[in-house]
Amino acid sequence: MEESRRQKKVSHLIKEELSRLVIQSFQDSASGLITITRVSMSKDLRSAYVFLSVLGHSPKQEILDFINQRKGFLRKAIASRTKLKYNPMLFFSLDDSFEQDKRIQEVIEKIKKNEK
């Protein structure tokens, strides 16, 4: 289903703020590169579904668990930085689209090598 204009604006705002917060508060050489890839808002704007990508040596599930443990801090920080009517609940999950793209590219390269 298509997101409304308001959902898109709030998604973009939440993504920007979370990206800043993750860089400032959580990202270091041990955690690798943590990227907020997208945010989807519920119709009532009370829930934000946040997808993140983790590149580096750290186990991805550990990073996700670490961020999930600090949801309260992130919600409070977003509330203080934005002027939203409702401060959305945050639901984090890993975005594996990067790995899927990488596998697809490897398969395409294999097919190209076999054609020659």
For the stretch 74-107, pLDDT in tens is: 999 999 999 888 899 999 999 877 777 778 888 8
User: Residues of the chain with pLDDT > 90: what percent?
Assistant: 48
Asked if residue 116 has pLDDT above 70, the reply is no
Amino acid at 30: A
CATH class held by domain 5-115: alpha beta
Among 39-43, 71-75, 97-101, where is mean pLDDT lowest? 97-101
List of residues 6+ apart from 11 with CB closer than 8 A: 3, 38, 39, 40, 41, 48
pTM comes to 0.79
Q: Please, are residues 66 and 26 in contact by the beta-carbon 8 Å criterion?
A: yes
Residue 38: which region, alpha, beta or left (left: phi > 0; alpha: psi -120 to 50)? beta
